[in-house]
């Protein structure tokens, strides 16, 4: 079986201490590769390499056009190896092959997009500011932030890494990437592509390993200027505490329990399609999954019946099997957490409409039927807490005001969706939903050109779009005094 390598200072190598752990195929529950188990010493080597590269200016000192040319080579490398990477992600994560292919294509586009922003940076002029005193000339400029420590999740192993790597590199930063130990293999391929593109040594570094042995040392490292994390709220708190101890910039993209408001005037088939997409895409392992569906009461019985019928028709199986729309849960640990949430939902008094069990005739693999709960108590854990699996909760509402109150009654605020043929109502509701991302008459479409991030405990900062690029810069003022003038506060002017 293949054993992955670390990529530090332009070279591939095993961890200093050696060691690895198995990568498990969630469809078969069998190991298929070994993942290099990086530890604190490897993190230290990687961060110091990134620090040297940044301070030497081998990357930040290039023009934006030069950096953009390198990023476009990476994008082309991803496209060239798309089928290979997609197959890796199917086996590592369990997602259906068409979804994995879509993810790799999106990753390539993201590199191209940020290459364009890097190229445009060369024509960006400093902002001149009139400070009201003719003796002073002031300007505002910006420069790359420095060394970035990035910790990324397992649900989109390559794509979530690229969301951090591409804008950081475009801005001129150097980076150390620590992907989730559950799904690390495609990030090794990304390192190979970056290496082949000729990006200078130390600019991009990859250290795989567990959270305690590699993630925490990266978060704690004093030479990191910024920590960028995507994952759970609990781990995000730890990353934020580490950033606070060193007074460093932090960006957190955390969990969600996103609402989907469906009004009675919309087409049932369209509503069901987007509800399915909003919760069963990527097996529900999506931070923005619209897992709380609120349906206007007059539509509620009919929509539930059609949703049950459509969910039960979804093809379940190994992600590489033709026609499969729901692959296995990523790991046994996650599988057990979802089953516990379903048991909690049953105990809460919610009505189990469909699913909640292993599919019939499936003896191995972390497979789970798409699961629908209805009439869910609003204080139940399945209504309030992120499950991160193919489980949706559906409740009725009577008025627009009630729907908004239920939607916004959450500790999270990542995403939300509204569906209605009344576009004025859609716009009105969208403005009142307390979320960083709002979809109208759809759910989950994501574009690299638009900012991504949430309110409340869903995180701090934004990824993607220009905001995701600007987040990797520091702002600097330069104030100049006219040398022909005399200040003369403490010392007299020239005789």
Assess whether 312 carries a catalytic annotation: no
Contact 476, 141 (CB under 8 A): yes
For residue 445, count CB atoms less than 10 angstroms from its CB and return exposed for 0-12, middle for 13-18, buried for 19 or more: exposed
Contact status, residue 180 vs residue 152, Cβ threshold 8 Å: yes
Counting as low any pLDDT under 50, the low residues of the chain are: none
User: In this structure, what token pair is assigned to residue 386?
Assistant: 């992120």
| 177 vs 145: CA distance, rounded Å | 16
Give the integer Cα–Cα distance in Å for 334 and 327.
14
Question: CA distances (Å), 64 to each of 45, 51, 74, 117, 146, in order?
Answer: 27, 20, 15, 8, 16
The pLDDT value recorded for residue 495 is 67
Which residue among 101, 188, 253, 386 is the active-site one? 253
Q: Please tell me the distance from the alpha carbon of residue 36 to that of residue 30, in angstroms, as a whole number.
A: 18
Q: What pLDDT digit, counting tens, does each position of 162-206 carry?
A: 999 999 999 999 999 999 999 999 999 999 999 999 999 999 999
Rounded Cα distance, 81 and 76, in Å: 9
What are the pLDDT digits (tens) for 56-99? 999 999 999 999 999 999 999 999 999 999 999 999 999 999 99
Sequence length of the chain is 495
The answer for residues whose C-beta is within 8 angstroms of residue 486's C-beta and 6 or more apart is: 493, 494
């Amino acid at each position: 079986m293949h054993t992955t390598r670390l990529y530090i200072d332009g070279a591939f190598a095993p961890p200093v201490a050696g060691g690895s752990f198995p990568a498990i195929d969630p469809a078969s529950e069998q190991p298929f590769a070994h993942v290099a188990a990086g530890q604190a010493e490897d993190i230290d080597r990687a961060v110091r390499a990134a620090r040297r590269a940044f301070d030497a200016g081998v990357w930040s000192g290039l023009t934006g056009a030069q950096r953009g040319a390198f990023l476009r080579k990476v994008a082309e490398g991803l496209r060239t190896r798309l089928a290979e990477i997609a197959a890796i992600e199917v086996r590592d994560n369990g997602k259906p092959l068409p979804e994995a292919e879509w993810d790799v294509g999106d990753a390539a586009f993201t590199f191209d997009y940020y290459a364009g922003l890097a190229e445009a940076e060369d024509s960006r002029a400093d902002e001149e500011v009139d400070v009201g005193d003719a003796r002073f000339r002031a300007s505002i400029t910006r420069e790359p932030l420095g060394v970035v420590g990035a910790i990324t999740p397992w649900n989109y192993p390559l794509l979530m890494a690229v969301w951090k790597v591409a804008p950081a590199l475009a801005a001129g930063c150097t980076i150390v990437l620590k992907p989730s130990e559950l799904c690390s293999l495609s990030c090794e391929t990304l390192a190979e592509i970056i290496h082949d593109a000729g990006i200078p040594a130390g600019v991009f570094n990859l250290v795989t390993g567990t959270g305690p042995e590699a993630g925490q040392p990266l978060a704690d490292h004093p030479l990191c200027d910024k920590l960028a994390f995507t994952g759970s709220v609990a781990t995000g708190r730890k990353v934020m505490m580490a950033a606070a101890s060193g007074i460093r910039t932090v960006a957190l993209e955390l969990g969600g329990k996103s609402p989907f408001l469906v009004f009675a005037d919309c087409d049932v088939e369209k509503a069901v399609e987007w509800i399915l997409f909003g919760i069963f895409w990527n097996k529900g392992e999506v931070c923005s999954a619209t897992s709380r569906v609120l349906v206007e009461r007059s539509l509620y019985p009919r929509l539930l019946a059609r949703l049950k019928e459509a969910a039960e028709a979804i093809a379940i199986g190994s992600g590489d099997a033709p026609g499969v729309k729901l692959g296995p849960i990523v790991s046994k640990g996650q599988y057990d957490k979802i089953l516990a949430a379903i048991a909690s939902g049953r105990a809460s008094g919610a009505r189990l409409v469909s699913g909640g069990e292993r599919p019939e005739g499936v003896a191995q693999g972390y497979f789970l039927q798409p699961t629908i709960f209805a009439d869910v108590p609003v204080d139940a854990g399945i209504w309030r807490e992120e499950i991160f699996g193919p489980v949706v909760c559906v409740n009725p509402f009577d008025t627009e005001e009630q729907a908004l109150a239920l939607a916004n009654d959450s500790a999270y605020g990542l995403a939300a969706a509204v569906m209605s043929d009344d576009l004025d109502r859609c716009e009105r509701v969208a403005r009142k939903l307390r979320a960083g991302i709002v979809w109208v008459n759809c759910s989950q479409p994501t574009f690299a050109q638009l900012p991504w991030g949430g309110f409340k405990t869903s995180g701090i900062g934004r990824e993607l779009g220009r905001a995701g690029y600007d987040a990797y810069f520091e702002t600097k003022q330069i104030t100049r005094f006219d040398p022909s003038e005399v200040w003369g506060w403490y010392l007299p002017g020239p005789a």
